[in-house]
Amino acid sequence: MSETTKHISTRREFLGHTGRIAAATTLAGLAVPRVHAAENNTLQVALIGCGGRGTGAAADALSVKQGPTKLVAAADVFENRVRSSVEGLKKRFADKVDVPQDRQFVGFDGYQKAMDCLKPGDIAIFASPLAFRWVHFGYAVQKGLHVFMEKPITADGPTSRRMIKQAEEASKKNLKVGVGLMSRHARHLQELQQRIQDGELGDIIAMRGYRMAGPIGSAFSEKWPGNPSELLWQIQRFHSFIWASGGCFSDFNIHIIDHLCWMKNAWPVKAQAVGGRHYRGACVDQNFDSYGVEYTFADGAKLFMDGRNIAGCTDIYCSYVHGSKGLAVASKHGDCGAPSSIHKGQNPDRDSMTWQAEVPGDQRNPYVNEWNDLVDAIRADKPYNEAERGVMASAVTSLGRKAAHTGREITLEAMLNSEEEYAPDCDKWTMDSPPPLKSDADGKYPIPQPGIVTAREF
């Protein structure tokens, strides 16, 4: 079991209790690679999901210290995204990008075609909506590819169990897997976590996380305009739909939830929460615009996570750890903003500060760090698989979301064992497929109703 999960038995318990672990995906057979590196030590990269975050991940892959790396294939369900991403990366990285038209793939099967361009030991990047993560990961493991996948990576129990199984298969094949939870690669947070584990804060009593800002991303959506197809439109507006992103709570808050659980070196065992929809106007998405979640750990310690997407309110975006010996500022601003600090007492003022992180200039970007760490593990053949931890962080975030959406206290074990799957059979989708969530005659979608709809989220 990974270091981050050794203090709880939830994962093994749910695997043992479940008895119906979903099998890893069975996809098309291996294809003969159509692209070969000019140099034996070149790591070829395929990008699946060519939006902003995927393009950013590809840029980080091409910027690693332990090169050479080369982008050789790209895939998305939108042709303009593939073209724009490849053209933009080509302008920045010139000869590190070799993606001619016949290696630019459009469609739901594009992930297979892009990965078929790689040889075993190359790298696949997954940055499409999370519903497809298990599909793409299963194919990569089958082909013997290293992987970098964006967060969150699951939104429900069945896909979480499926990906745990796939993560185990990846480890058996000695494949390296990175997950885009970059806080774990922020050097100031790494030092703070070690200091907390060494007892500098004493016993952790409570932790607080905040991501409260105005409307962002695609979390607010009005009725489907009729073009493109309803499925493709939902993919474009992925923050609006639980099946595609876990909704705004999962996509926006997972970084802070993950790094605070890391500070505690444990995952919570249950959650209860509140939330509501306020100034939604004509919006038909599935999100609340305010959430307040109380997570409880096995020893009774608490993690409070507040999220808000309402214009005109006070913006707060940071995280704190309260211990019996003092207080730590984990993220000063943002998902993992430096510098972290430790203070006497419970007020984070300068006079009470006993330590503040100092990070070398070339180590200050956690997005770059996570790619350097992944490629270093590939080059040096060191154990490296963040998939299980990524699943647990995703499941814990979904636990808080589901507690708010149902109005019920829910255990992590129940979340992981749930049979409710939000995008079943997405591995079979085509460009003509209907969406997993269909609008009604008024163009509206089912929304959470706490206390009324409690057996599921909506």
- What per-residue confidence (pLDDT) applies to 118? 98
pLDDT at position 40, please? 72
How many angstroms separate the CA atoms of 458 and 451, rounded? 11
Domain annotation covers residue 286: yes
Strand partners, 149: 126, 179
Q: Specify whether 132 is located in the same domain as 209.
A: no
Q: For 199-242, what is each residue's pLDDT tens digit?
A: 999 999 999 999 999 999 999 999 999 999 999 999 999 999 99
150 Cβ contact partners less than 8 Å away, ≥ 6 residues apart: 49, 53, 54, 57, 126, 127, 179, 180
Q: Provide the 10 A C-beta neighbour count for residue 100.
A: 9
Those residues of the chain that have pLDDT short of 50 are: 1-39
Cα–Cα distance for residue pair 361/335, rounded to 1 Å: 19
Q: Are residues 161 and 211 in the same domain?
A: no
Nearest to 151, CA basis, from 166, 130, 170: 130
Domain membership of residue 424 (yes or no) is: no
CA distance 7 to 372: 28
Look at residue 391 and tell me if it is in a domain: no
195 shares a domain with 325: yes
The interaxial angle of helices 387-406 and 247-264, nearest 10 deg, is: 120
Same-domain check for residues 94 and 159: yes
If asked whether residues 102 and 143 sit together in one domain, one would say yes
Contact 268, 172 (CB under 8 A): no
**Residue length, the chain?**
458
Please report how the helices 10-18 and 157-172 are oriented relative to each other, as an axis angle in degrees rounded to 10. 100
Cβ burial of 442 (10 Å; 0-12, 13-18, 19+) is exposed
- Residues near 341 by Cβ (< 8 Å), separated by ≥ 6? 328, 329, 332, 348, 353, 355, 356, 357
Residues 135 and 210 in one domain: no
The one-letter amino acid code at 135 reads: V
pLDDT at 31: 37
CATH number of 93's domain: 3.40.50.720
The pLDDT assigned to 133 comes to 98
Residues 6+ apart with CB under 8 A from 52: none
pLDDT of residue 34: 43
Q: Tell me: do 233 and 138 sit in the same domain.
A: no
Per the structure, the count of domains in the chain is: 2
pTM of the model: 0.91
Same-domain pairing of 236 and 260: yes
In a domain, 458, yes or no: no
Q: Are residues 64 and 209 in the same domain?
A: no
CA nearest to 295, candidates 270, 320, 266:
270
| Per-residue model confidence (pLDDT) at position 368 | 96
Look at the block and give the residue holding tokens 């947070």.
189
- Determine the Cα–Cα distance for residues 406 and 274; give it in Å rounded to an integer: 9
Backbone φ and ψ for 399, nearest 5 degrees, come out as -60, -45
pLDDT of residue 360: 86
State whether 209 and 347 are in the same domain: yes
In a domain, 433, yes or no: no
CATH of the domain at 352: 3.30.360.10
Task: Looking at the structure, tell me whether residues 194 and 70 fall in a common domain.
Answer: no
Domain that holds residue 19: 3-183+368-385
Contact predicate 306/210, CB 8 Å: yes
